[in-house]
Amino acid sequence: MTGTVRPRRLRFRLPWESALFILALLGLWQGLTTWAKLPNPALFPSPALTFRALLASLPELLKGTRASFLILVPGYAAAVVLGVTWGLLVGTTGWLGRTFFPFARAAAPVPPTVYIPYAIALLPTFRLSAIFVVFLGAFWPIFLNAAAGAAGMPARHRDNARLLGMGRTAYLRRVVFRAALPHIFTGMGVGLGLAFILLTVAELFGASAGLGRFVQYYADFADYPRMVAGILFTGLVTLLAMGLLELVRRRALFWIR
Amino acid sequence: MAPDPLAASGPAPRALGPAPGFRLEGVGFAYGDQPVLAGLDLTIGDGEFLCLLGQSGSGKTTLQRLLAGLERPSQGRISWRGAPVTGPGIERGMVFQDYSLYPWMSLAENIGLALERSDPSLSRAGRRERAAEYLDAVGLPGTARKYPHELSGGMRQRAAIARTLALGSPVLLLDEPFGALDPVNRARLQDLLTGIWREAAPRRTVVFVTHDVEEALYLGDRVVVLGSAPGRVIGELAVPFPRPRQRRELFASREFQHLSATLADHYRAQILDAMNPTLAMTGPGEGL
């Protein structure tokens, strides 16, 4: 009966079906571009060409990743902190909910891309406006999910907090936050996806470096091997960020079987 | 049943005429326009072990929540030791059927929440130590770092009792705490609870909600039967058995069986009363 809690084993196993599918896709790509030469070879670079371009531009891509993350991380972090805090408050406070929810319902579905030109005009630097747009995109799903999680929390958690005489901040931090965490992670996942989309779109408007900027730049020069390499690399970075979030989620929600 | 010299004058707290702990006068409660309790008068002695017996829908859980201060009565008054009950308080601890613990906290952290309240001067390490002591006391040694999902239902209820004890409340409100347990665990926890109650001086006031007649008779100094729609007191019984009670002998005794049958009849009559309208509505050929 003694012993400590072992954290659940964290590992990703690629199902063989999925591995096979990816191999088949690569094979199709190779077959179409190298042997069949069906599509226009100038527009569809072969895998070999693309991987060579990827290797050649790796330093530039890494620099671009750094530039992108300098936008993504502050914007996303602000969205998480403010979205969760505000969501928990709105979800647990009757009058705040009545005041803010109707507004949120109207504001949340507006595609944040429409704010990009205005944000660039309004804010002093490109980086600030891009951060702001990323923030806006990620904020709504995180806020809405946190609020829903807090409002839908089982009443028993509140009863127990009252019986234990818990103060308001302790209640929000140690009960509501933890109870809403599954919802919050859902919102953070959606928010992260949107943040990447908005980041790359914002970079098309005026970045000097970044993942979206890289793709845009080589597309303008019709250097499609590099462009495709940039797309693949961006996908990989997104995948890694999502995987990291999933790792954190499983760790944090160890108590859900 | 062996006579117990300590209990020669009958169940002590009752015979001495206990100071009123809870006093309920004309208590009514409604959810919207649905009355749950109406005109309920009840006095619960300080240090008394009271069992509230009632079928589902009799408002026994609501009554329990009113005593805890989680709900406010729509009519009437409730007081504890002379002071009106206006909200939850540290002097009234509660154990629910299966959800008193926060699933994201270890047992030590759960109990620590109660200790933060009952003894704010304790350091973090002091809380951990005390939590382990409470866990030992309910028969869960070495489980301080376990999480509720790693425990069986019986162990979770033990930990829930430990948490409520850590609050240091003179009142224990238990809402069908053993209702989800298997018979063996249920018996063990009943004995654990009466043991804890008997050992403490002065004794805690226990209000134990159940729908199990034998459980009520085995545990209580007094059994109050609630009728339904709306809930009110329809009968009560001072349990004549001295303590400590020996489960096997007591259950086999004629007096226990007689009382249990009487209570069950009382109780069943209520259930039938409540079912009659339903039966009448679903007569042959109707409804389908």
B277 pLDDT above the threshold of 50: no
Determine whether the interchain pair B102/A163 forms a contact, defined as Cβ–Cβ distance below 8 Å: no
Pick A159's closest partner by Cβ from B70, B105, B114. B70
Q: Is residue A151 part of a domain?
A: yes
For residues B64 and B175, membership in a common domain is answered with yes
Residue B51 neighbours by CB distance under 10 Å: 27
Closest CA to B165 of B61, B94, B106: B94
* Residues B168, B173, B179, B184, Cα dihedral to 10°: 40
Q: Are B210 and B52 in contact (CB under 8 A)?
A: yes
Closest alpha carbon within chain A to B93: A163
Count of structural domains within chain A: 1
Which positions in chain B touch A181 (Cβ < 8 Å)? 104
For residues B155 and B220, membership in a common domain is answered with no
- CATH number where A56 lies: 1.10.3720.10
The verdict on pTM exceeding 0.90 is no
Which of B:101-140 have CB within 8 Å of A?
A: 102-106, 113-114, 117, 140
Residue B57 phi, psi dihedral angles, 5° rounding = 95, 0
For residues B61 and B174, membership in a common domain is answered with yes
Closest CA to A1 of B135, B255, B77: B135
Q: How confident is the model at residue A257 (pLDDT cuts 50, 70, 90)?
A: low
Q: Is B94 helix (H, G, I), strand (E, B) or coil?
A: strand
Specify the range with the lowest mean pLDDT, choosing from A41-55, A239-253, B149-163. A41-55
Pick B104's closest partner by Cβ from A1, A159, A178. A178
Domain that holds residue B118: 93-168
Q: Give me the residue label for tokens 């960020």.
A: A241
Determine whether the interchain pair A255/B142 forms a contact, defined as Cβ–Cβ distance below 8 Å: no
Closest alpha carbon within chain B to A182: B104
Q: Which of A153, A160, A163 to mutate to test the interface with B (most CBs of B within 10 A)?
A: A163
B67 pLDDT above the threshold of 70: yes
Q: Which residue has the higher pLDDT, B226 or A72?
A: A72
The pLDDT score that the predictor gives to residue A128 is 92
CA separation (Å) from A125 to A173, A206, B53, B58?
35, 10, 71, 67
**Which ipTM value was assigned to this complex?**
0.82
Q: Which of B132, B148, B168 is the last residue of a domain?
A: B168
Determine whether the interchain pair A5/B145 forms a contact, defined as Cβ–Cβ distance below 8 Å: yes
Tell me the average pLDDT across A58-65. 94
Which positions in chain B touch A5 (Cβ < 8 Å)? 106, 145-147, 150
Determine whether the interchain pair B87/A175 forms a contact, defined as Cβ–Cβ distance below 8 Å: no
Q: Is residue A33 part of a domain?
A: no
Which positions in chain B touch A163 (Cβ < 8 Å)? 68, 70, 88, 92-94, 167
Pick A1's closest partner by Cβ from B70, B104, B143. B143
* Of the ranges A107-116, B122-131, B251-260, the best mean pLDDT one: B122-131
Q: Give me the residue label for tokens 């919802």.
A: A183
Residue B22 phi, psi dihedral angles, 5° rounding = -95, 140
Peptide bond preceding B244: is omega within 30 degrees of 0, i.e. cis?
A: yes
Amino acid in the structure at residue B236: E
The pLDDT score that the predictor gives to residue B284 is 39
Pick A1's closest partner by Cβ from B99, B142, B167. B142
Query: Looking at the DSSP assignment, which residues form a beta bridge with residue B209?
Result: B52, B175
Q: Is residue B4 part of a domain?
A: no
Residue B221 phi, psi dihedral angles, 5° rounding = -80, -30
A87 pLDDT above the threshold of 80: yes
Q: Are B29 and B73 in contact (CB under 8 A)?
A: yes
Q: Is A36 helix (H, G, I), strand (E, B) or coil?
A: helix
The pLDDT score that the predictor gives to residue B263 is 84
Q: Residue A30: CB partners within 8 Å, gap ≥ 6? A: A46, A47
Determine whether the interchain pair B88/A1 forms a contact, defined as Cβ–Cβ distance below 8 Å: no
For residues B236 and B267, membership in a common domain is answered with yes
For residues B176 and B275, membership in a common domain is answered with yes
The pLDDT score that the predictor gives to residue A42 is 76
For residues B153 and B201, membership in a common domain is answered with no
Count of structural domains within chain B: 2
Residue A99 phi, psi dihedral angles, 5° rounding = -75, -45
B226 pLDDT above the threshold of 90: no
Nearest-neighbour CA in chain B from A60: distance (Å): 44
For residues B156 and B255, membership in a common domain is answered with no
Q: Residue B98: CB partners within 8 Å, gap ≥ 6? A: B153, B156, B157, B180
Domain that holds residue A113: 46-252
Closest CA to A153 of A133, A138, A174, A135: A174
If residue A102 lies in a helix (H) or strand (E), which one and from where to where?
helix A94-107
The pLDDT score that the predictor gives to residue A113 is 86
For residues B188 and B272, membership in a common domain is answered with yes
Q: Which of B168, B196, B212 is the last residue of a domain?
A: B168
Residue A103 neighbours by CB distance under 10 Å: 9
Q: Is residue B110 part of a domain?
A: yes
Pick A255's closest partner by Cβ from B89, B141, B147. B147
Strand residue runs (E) in chain B: 20-31, 34-45, 49-53, 75-80, 83-84, 92-95, 171-175, 205-210, 222-227, 232-238
A157 touches chain B (CB under 8 A): yes
How many residues would you count in chain B? 288
The pLDDT score that the predictor gives to residue A15 is 86
Residue-wise pLDDT for B181-196, tens only, equals 888 888 988 999 999 8
Q: Residue B39: CB partners within 8 Å, gap ≥ 6? A: B26, B27, B28, B76, B232
Q: Which of A6, A164, A176, A253 to mutate to test the interface with B (most CBs of B within 10 A)?
A: A164
Q: Give me the residue label for tokens 């226009």.
A: A40
For residues B151 and B206, membership in a common domain is answered with no
Structure tokens at B137: 């006391």
Determine whether the interchain pair A159/B145 forms a contact, defined as Cβ–Cβ distance below 8 Å: no
Structure tokens at B230: 């709306």
Q: Is residue A29 part of a domain?
A: no
Closest alpha carbon within chain A to B103: A255
Q: Is residue B79 part of a domain?
A: no
Residue-wise pLDDT for B19-63, tens only, equals 688 999 989 998 888 888 888 899 999 999 999 998 877 888 899
Tell me the average pLDDT across A220-236. 92
